[in-house]
């Protein structure tokens, strides 16, 4: 009864509001502009994107009540830099100032939420925000995530950290959206992080069933929606300005019919929300390239509705997103809080689970992550260089240009039809080309910086004059620099591919270094040389590799172990019914792995410390996809529709074991058919030997190779164990937080709907042990049986859906994918201590750079005692150096000063600021995850960064750098539980100058100023 009374009260209040006032409608003009997808960026700019900003700018100038929101910054910036006239720019500045043109999200792209990594999401937002703040003095405060395929719980946290006041999502499960719509629960306050909770909560609006497009059906016309400018035409815009499918003009004859359709739609939607305000997005994909037609029709229509608002019960107005959210904020409604549950995966219909894209275009996903790691390494090395040698020989403009190009390319591919693999083949090629071109530029920069002497006069070459290949003065010698891009000390094993069977390795002071050499797993003509590199945080060292054609002895050769493989004959899986009779052990300090000679498959892993043997096998399975829409649901770039259970993807397995002193390698080759000459799949497992204090032995590195696949197959690596898990698994949202995924049953499509994105990590566990995988790129992951973890690694698909064929959205991907996973097994406590760090360390492995031989011979260096390596920078084990870079923006840290500068109109081409260093530090642990490591950590940044230089000034900023944190006041939304936000609850007392306390899961961003010329 009590419940009933509450409902009644609630209803009465709503009725009262509705009776007195007409529904207030916020018509938000927008154009959804995919940075990629079907057309390349260049094609889109030419066909419509440039015209959007040109024509919107002109149209906004004509009437003061018109509005527009600009979303993807990549297109806006291209227009601003290459198309806009000075008169356009002047008008844009005026519109922005008056709040008529509003930048929403402000990132380079609308990033995907399922398969992107936190590093890259932050990067792409930082890029766009830096440009907008520098150019206009504005800081986006609202999101518009209308198209990403599902919604991650990390996204609202990042937006909150960037200073946003409200978040907006759209694509969530159809059945969940239905229920939320019915129950007026589309709006809520999201506490995406289970640790940061209300500190970083954000109001979230879920778009209703009409999503971000205008209703497409007009009962009185064959044309669709409120799109008077029709549909964009490729490759060239029509010369006469007449586009296909332009809607009927609004005239005296049609205005009533238009008004009726619009008002009915507004009223329908108003019933799904708790306030009297309706967000009415006006636009869709590729709209407003001919804005005059758009506004000239909408103006009279809106005028008509407002003149009849009493009868119609509706008012309409052009609005930006902030005007809509302002109205909601002022409505004084108390909102329901939502915890850290996300909206992944995503289904649009019973048989349409968008879980395929987690694994689409594995190669692109891998290249994008490698480029991101490369950028991370180059950023910190350049920042060090600038602080240490402000007048050093590497030209700063040349360097920054290279970094900016790679920032741009890595940002671009985070688009929700980019890294997702849901684009057309030519667009995938565009991303790959942009990434590889920019990465090559950064490699040149890295090579120039790696030659960084420890005193400037010893610089060997100046960029631009150095020729590639000079690193080999004589063929039997090679010089490399190995750089550790993380602020932790590391004993890393680095693999260098060489063409000689014997080698000796020496460090920068001429001491021999432990190494191992063996025939490569991938090729008969190359060798893998494993070097044990001891590196401090952010430290690099030079190494000399000396080769010899013959068996060498002495002179450091005895430090290199020459490993030989033992091959086990090919076994057909048929014959392996009896298992466990002939087991081969491979041991290191952490594990005993058993391989079965009857199958050549993994049999079990014993975790030595726990003394627990876990039965475990690992092999490849495939889902045979349906490619004919007439015979049922299909799989494509986006969708995974399991057409039955998976079947074994091979008939026979061969094994080779290469016992070593640094690593022991187990090479398993899987043949589709027993008699095949070449294998289709392989797993190379590297079992590291434990030595030294810091060398982790718990990571079993597994590099798989898959392909080319047969058409219409989706291949998984299945790890089956005896752990009792009840099919529950844990996967990460964007590498930031782990999500518990309990197996759910659905009326339809249960298998595909239990697939989840795995960006960096996934694990299963029972009461005692955890089996974890961390990954160098995104995949799909699922647990379809007790104790099982299957990772979808590769897909090759083609179907006859006309829509797919029309846009060439095919996934006939014949590439060979070579993803790497680190597998670990251990007690839950130890596994959670190591897991986060493993994921970061796989992401940011040491960088190997070939360099020119030093000017002085190695012997001379030795005689001088060698050059000391640069000083290390080391953070505590639970803190990760997320960013250390020189962004180059030129704006005052003082907002008022900067605004005055922007408004003065002077100096519109600012010189980059090379002295401001952006620093981000992230606490890796959740509250309560580990008794010690979850604790807040106080560090003195002056002390920590002294290896780089002398810190003079520290300014704390918002996530993307644009806010002085002490002036950032986000909107405080009322929630039912009304938790008092206390941003400093985890900190004790006042902080000393330069000392900062970083609490569980926090990401803190600083501008650091160093005293110049420290060395």
Other CB atoms within a 10 A radius of the CB of residue 1011 amount to 11
Which residues in 748-807 contact Zn ion (CB under 5 A)? none
Q: Give the residue with the Cβ less far from Zn ion, 34 or 665.
A: 34
Nearest to 511 by CA among 858, 871, 857, 851: 858
Which residues in 658-687 contact Zn ion (CB under 5 A)? none
Determine phi and psi for 721, rounding to 5 degrees: -130, 170
Other CB atoms within a 10 A radius of the CB of residue 157 amount to 30
Q: Give the residue with the Cβ less far from Zn ion, 316 or 427.
A: 427
Determine phi and psi for 316, rounding to 5 degrees: -130, 150
Whose CB is nearest to Zn ion? 147
CB of 130 to Zn ion, least distance (A): 23
d(CA 133, CA 820): 39
Q: Give the residue with the Cβ less far from Zn ion, 145 or 269.
A: 145
Which residues in 146-165 contact Zn ion (CB under 5 A)? 147
The H or E element containing residue 20 is helix 2-20
72 binds Zn ion (CB under 5 A): no
Which residues in 434-493 contact Zn ion (CB under 5 A)? none
Q: Give the residue with the Cβ less far from Zn ion, 52 or 917.
A: 52
Q: What is the DSSP string of 509-554?
A: TS-EE-EEEEE-SS-SS-EEEEEEEEE-TT-EEEEEEEEESS---S
The H or E element containing residue 790 is strand 788-796
Q: Which long-range contacts (CB under 8 A, 24 or more apart) does 987-993 make?
A: 987/936, 991/938, 992/940
Q: Which long-range contacts (CB under 8 A, 24 or more apart) does 612-615 make?
A: 612/768, 612/769, 614/721, 614/722, 614/723, 614/769, 614/771, 614/825, 615/721, 615/722
Separation of CA 143 from chain center: 17
d(CA 299, CA 215): 18
Q: Give the residue with the Cβ less far from Zn ion, 34 or 926.
A: 34
With contacts defined by CB under 5 A, name the span among 19-27, 30-38, 825-833, 938-946 that binds Zn ion: 30-38
Q: Strand 515-519 relative to strand 337-338: parallel, antiparallel, unpaired? A: unpaired
d(CA 590, CA 606): 8
Q: What is the DSSP string of 687-746?
A: EEPP-TTT-----EEEEEEE-SPPTTEEEEEEEEES---TT-EEEEETTTEEEEE-----
CB of 1005 to Zn ion, least distance (A): 29
Determine phi and psi for 356, rounding to 5 degrees: -75, -35
Contacts of 709 (CB under 8 A, 6+ apart): 680, 715, 794, 795, 796, 813, 814
Determine phi and psi for 55, rounding to 5 degrees: -75, -35
Q: Give the residue with the Cβ less far from Zn ion, 285 or 654.
A: 285
- Residue 550 sits at the vertex; the CA angle it makes with 549 and 556, to the nearest 5 degrees, is 90
Contacts of 429 (CB under 8 A, 6+ apart): none
CB of 33 to Zn ion, least distance (A): 8
Number of residues that bind Zn ion (CB under 5 A): 2
Which residues in 90-149 contact Zn ion (CB under 5 A)? 147
DSSP at 46: I
With contacts defined by CB under 5 A, name the span among 31-39, 177-185, 557-565, 709-717 that binds Zn ion: 31-39
CB of 258 to Zn ion, least distance (A): 27
CB of 212 to Zn ion, least distance (A): 9
The SS3 of residue 757 is strand
CB of 741 to Zn ion, least distance (A): 26
Q: Give the residue with the Cβ less far from Zn ion, 173 or 417.
A: 417
> Are residues 714 and 640 in contact, defined by beta-carbon separation less than 8 angstroms?
yes
Contacts of 800 (CB under 8 A, 6+ apart): 627, 628, 629
CB of 415 to Zn ion, least distance (A): 8
Q: What is the 3-state secondary structure (H, E, C) of 912-979?
A: CECCEEEEEEEECCCCCCCCCCCCCEEEEHHHHHHHCCCEEEEEEECCCCCCEHHHCCCCCCCECCCC
With contacts defined by CB under 5 A, name the span among 3-11, 33-41, 712-720, 763-771 that binds Zn ion: 33-41
CB of 105 to Zn ion, least distance (A): 13
| 595 beta partners | 584, 602
34 binds Zn ion (CB under 5 A): yes
With contacts defined by CB under 5 A, name the span among 32-40, 530-538, 566-574, 798-806 that binds Zn ion: 32-40
Q: Give the residue with the Cβ less far from Zn ion, 147 or 173.
A: 147
With contacts defined by CB under 5 A, name the span among 26-34, 210-218, 250-258, 721-729 that binds Zn ion: 26-34
As annotated, the active-site residues are 147
CB of 736 to Zn ion, least distance (A): 23
d(CA 714, CA 356): 9
Q: Give the residue with the Cβ less far from Zn ion, 147 or 1002.
A: 147
CB of 37 to Zn ion, least distance (A): 6
d(CA 411, CA 108): 6
Q: Give the residue with the Cβ less far from Zn ion, 31 or 664.
A: 31
d(CA 255, CA 259): 6
Q: Give the residue with the Cβ less far from Zn ion, 39 or 891.
A: 39
Q: Give the residue with the Cβ less far from Zn ion, 150 or 887.
A: 150
CB of 210 to Zn ion, least distance (A): 16
Compute CA distances 787 → 612, 677, 719, 728, 858, whole Å. 15, 34, 8, 9, 54
d(CA 641, CA 623): 9
Q: Give the residue with the Cβ less far from Zn ion, 112 or 562.
A: 112
With contacts defined by CB under 5 A, name the span among 34-42, 360-368, 527-535, 627-635 that binds Zn ion: 34-42
412 binds Zn ion (CB under 5 A): no
DSSP at 853: P
CB of 417 to Zn ion, least distance (A): 6
CB of 416 to Zn ion, least distance (A): 5
The residues binding Zn ion (CB under 5 A) are 34, 147
């Amino acid at each position: 009864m009590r419940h009933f009374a509450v409902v009644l009260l609630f209803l009465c209040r709503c009725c009262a509001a509705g009776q007195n006032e007409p529904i207030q409608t916020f018509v938000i003009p927008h154009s959804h502009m995919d940075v990629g997808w079907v057309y390349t960026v260049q094609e889109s700019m030419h066909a419509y994107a440039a015209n959007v900003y040109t024509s919107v700018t002109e149209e906004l100038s004509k009437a003061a009540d018109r509005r527009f929101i600009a979303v993807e910054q990549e297109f806006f910036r291209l227009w601003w830099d290459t198309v806009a006239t000075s008169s356009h720019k002047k008008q844009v500045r005026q519109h922005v100032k008056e709040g008529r043109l509003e930048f929403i999200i402000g990132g380079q792209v609308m990033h995907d939420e399922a398969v992107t990594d936190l590093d890259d999401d932050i990067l792409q937002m930082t890029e766009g925000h830096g440009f907008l703040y520098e150019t206009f003095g504005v800081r986006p405060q609202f999101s518009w995530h209308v198209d990403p395929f599902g919604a991650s719980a990390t996204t609202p946290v990042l937006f909150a950290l960037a200073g946003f006041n409200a978040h907006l999502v759209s694509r969530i499960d159809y059945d969940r959206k239905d229920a939320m719509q019915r129950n007026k629960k589309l709006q809520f306050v999201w506490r995406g992080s289970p640790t940061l909770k209300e500190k970083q909560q954000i109001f979230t609006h879920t778009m209703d069933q009409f999503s971000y497009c205008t209703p497409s059906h007009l009962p009185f016309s064959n044309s669709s929606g409120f799109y008077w400018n029709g549909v964009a035409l490729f490759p060239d815009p029509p010369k006469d300005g007449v586009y296909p499918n332009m809607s009927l003009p609004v005239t005296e004859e049609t205005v009533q019919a238009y008004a009726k359709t619009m008002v009915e739609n507004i009223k329908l939607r108003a019933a799904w929300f708790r306030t009297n305000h309706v967000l009415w997005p006006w636009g869709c994909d590729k709209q407003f390239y001919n804005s005059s037609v758009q506004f000239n029709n909408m103006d009279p229509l809106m005028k008509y509705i407002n003149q009849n608002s009493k009868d119609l019960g509706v008012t309409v107005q052009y609005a930006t997103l902030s005007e809509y959210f302002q109205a909601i904020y002022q409505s004084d409604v108390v909102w329901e809080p939502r915890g850290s549950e996300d909206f992944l995966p995503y289904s649009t219909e019973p048989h349409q689970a968008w879980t395929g894209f987690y694994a689409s275009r594995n190669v692109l996903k891998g290249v994008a992550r490698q480029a991101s790691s490369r950028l991370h390494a180059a950023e910190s090395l350049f920042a060090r260089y600038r602080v240490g040698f402000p007048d050093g020989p590497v030209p700063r403009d040349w360097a920054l240009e290279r970094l900016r190009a790679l920032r741009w390319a890595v940002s671009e591919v985070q688009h929700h039809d980019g890294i997702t693999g849901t684009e057309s083949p030519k667009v995938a090629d565009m991303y790959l080309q942009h990434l590889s071109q920019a990465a090559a530029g950064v490699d040149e920069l890295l090579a120039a910086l790696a030659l960084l002497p420890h005193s400037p006069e010893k610089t060997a070459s100046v960029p631009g004059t150095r020729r590639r290949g000079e690193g080999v003065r004589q063929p039997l010698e090679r010089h490399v620099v190995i750089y550790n891009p993380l602020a932790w000390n590391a004993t890393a094993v680095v693999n260098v591919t060489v063409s000689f069977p014997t080698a000796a390795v020496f460090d920068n002071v001429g001491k021999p270094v432990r190494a191992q050499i063996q025939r490569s797993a991938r090729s008969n003509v190359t060798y893998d040389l494993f070097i044990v590199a001891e590196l401090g945080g952010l430290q690099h060292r030079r190494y000399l590799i000396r080769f010899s054609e013959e068996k060498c002895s002495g002179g450091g050769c005895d430090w290199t172990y020459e490993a030989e493989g033992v091959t086990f004959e090919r076994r057909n899986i048929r014959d392996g019914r009896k298992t466990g009779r002939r087991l081969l052990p491979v041991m290191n300090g952490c594990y005993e792995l058993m391989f079965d000679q009857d199958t050549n498959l993994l049999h079990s892993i014993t975790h030595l410390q726990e003394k627990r043997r876990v039965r475990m096998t690992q092999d490849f399975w495939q889902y045979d996809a349906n490619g004919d829409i007439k015979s049922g649901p299909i799989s494509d770039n986006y969708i995974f529709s399991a057409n039955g259970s998976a079947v074994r993807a091979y008939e026979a397995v061969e094994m080779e074991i290469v016992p070593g002193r640094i690593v022991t390698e187990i090479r398993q080759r899987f043949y589709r058919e027993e008699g095949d000459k070449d294998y289709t799949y392989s797993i190379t497992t590297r079992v590291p030997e434990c030595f030294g204090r810091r060398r982790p032995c718990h990571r079993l590195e597994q590099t798989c190779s898959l392909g080319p696949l047969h058409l219409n197959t989706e291949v998984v690596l299945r790890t089956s164990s005896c752990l009792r898990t009840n099919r529950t698994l844990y996967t990460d949202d964007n590498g930031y937080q782990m999500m518990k995924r309990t197996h759910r049953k659905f009326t339809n499509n249960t298998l595909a709907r239990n697939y989840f994105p795995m960006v960096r990590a996934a694990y299963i566990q029972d009461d005692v042990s955890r089996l974890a995988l961390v990954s160098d790129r995104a995949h799909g992951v699922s647990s379809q049986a007790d104790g099982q973890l299957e990772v979808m690694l590769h897909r090759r698909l083609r179907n006859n859906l006309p829509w797919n064929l029309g846009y060439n959205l095919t996934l006939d991907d014949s590439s060979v994918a070579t993803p790497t996973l680190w597998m670990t097994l251990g007690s839950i406590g130890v596994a959670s201590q190591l897991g986060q760090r493993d994921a970061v360390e796989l992401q940011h492995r040491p960088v190997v750079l070939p360099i020119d031989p030093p000017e002085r011979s190695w012997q001379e260096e030795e005689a001088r005692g060698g050059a000391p390596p640069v000083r290390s920078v080391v953070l505590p084990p639970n803190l990760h150096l997320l960013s250390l870079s020189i962004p180059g923006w030129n704006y005052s840290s003082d907002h008022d000063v900067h605004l005055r500068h922007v408004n003065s109109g002077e100096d519109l081409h600012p010189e980059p600021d090379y002295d401001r260093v952006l620093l981000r530090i992230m606490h890796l642990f959740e509250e309560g995850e580990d008794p010690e490591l979850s604790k807040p950590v106080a560090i003195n940044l002056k002390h920590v960064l002294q290896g780089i230089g002398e810190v003079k000034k520290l300014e704390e900023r918002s996530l993307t750098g644009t806010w002085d944190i002490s002036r950032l006041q986000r909107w405080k939304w009322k929630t039912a539980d009304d938790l008092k936000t206390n941003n400093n609850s985890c900190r004790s007392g006042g902080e000393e100058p330069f000392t900062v306390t970083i609490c569980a899961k926090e990401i803190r961003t600083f501008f650091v100023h160093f005293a110049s010329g420290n060395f």
